[in-house]
Amino acid sequence: MALGVSYHGEAYDGWQSQPSGRTVQDRLELALTQFTALDGISTLCAGRTDAGVHGLMQVVHFDCALDRPETAWVRGTNRFLPPDIAVQWARQVPHSFHARASARSRRYAYVLLESPVRPSVDAGRVGWVFRPLQLEAMQQAAQALLGEHDFTSFRASACQAHSPVKQMLRVDISRRGAYWRFEFEASAFLHHMIRNIMGCLIMIGSGRRPPGWMAEVLAAKSREAAAPTFSPDGLYFLGPVYDESLNLPTRTPAFDWLP
C-alpha cells in the first residue's frame, strides 16, 4: 500500500523514527498498528523531513496482507492519528513500487513573511524576514542553482547522502502580498539543503550580497562559504513526482492553502 500523508511538523522531531517517539513516522506507524491490529508495520517514505518542517504530501509505502478498501485505510488510520497528521489518500501499488527509489524528483516550498513585525497567527508556519527583499536579485541568483551540481556548500555536516551531486530542476520565486513563496524541484535534496539555500537567497534579496555570490558559494564546495541555516518554520515538503503510469495523486487540498 502507498499512502499520501500531510502533517504540521512543529510538534515533532522530524519524520524519521527516534527513541523519543515524537516523530511523524512513529505516530503514523502506531496508528497503522492500532487500525490493523497487526504488529510490526514499518513504513518507508519518499523524503525525510527535519524537526519543524511540514508535509503537504509525504508518500510512504508498506507491505500488509490485509485486504481493505482504500477509503478504509484513510478513515481508519486517521481515527488513530493526532489532529496535526492526516492520511490524505491510499492506493494499492505494484510490489516493485518504492516510495523513495521510484520517485523521479521531489518538490519543496518555502513560505516567507516579509514584515517589520514577527508572525503571530501563522507562527511556526512561515519563515520571517524584516528587511525588504528584491525579487529580481533573488531570481538572478537562483539561476546558478539550476542543473547538476555539487551542493556541498548547502549540505549539513550530519547529511547521510552518498553523494552531494544533485540536479536542480526548477526554482520559482513569487510574491503574494506580504508573503513570498520559493518553490524547489530537484532529483533529491541533501540534509538542510533548502534551508541553507534560503539563507543565501535572503542575504542576496536584502542587498547584503550581490546575485553573483550564489555561484561563488556553490563553487566553493564548503559549508563555511554559505549563509547560516534558515528557520524550518516555513518549509513544506510538497511530495515526490512519480511516473504517470502509477496514477498516484500529485497534490492534496492543503496545496491550495499556501500563498
Q: Which residues are catalytic?
A: 50
**Backbone φ and ψ of 129, nearest 5°:** -140, 135
In whole angstroms, what is the distance from residue 189 CA to residue 182 CA?
15
Q: Is 181 helix (H, G, I), strand (E, B) or coil?
A: strand
The single residue listed with the C-alpha cell 536542480 is 168
The Cβ of residue 98 has, within 10 Å, a number of other Cβ atoms equal to 13
Kindly state the cell numbers that stand for 7.
502533517
Long-range contacts of 227-230 (CB under 8 A, 24+ apart): 227/196, 227/199, 227/200, 227/202, 227/203, 228/199, 229/156, 229/192, 229/195, 229/196, 229/199, 230/127, 230/195, 230/196, 230/198, 230/199, 230/202
The single residue listed with the C-alpha cell 512543529 is 10
The DSSP annotation for 11-45 comes to GSS-SS--TT--SHHHHHHHHHHHHHT-S----EE
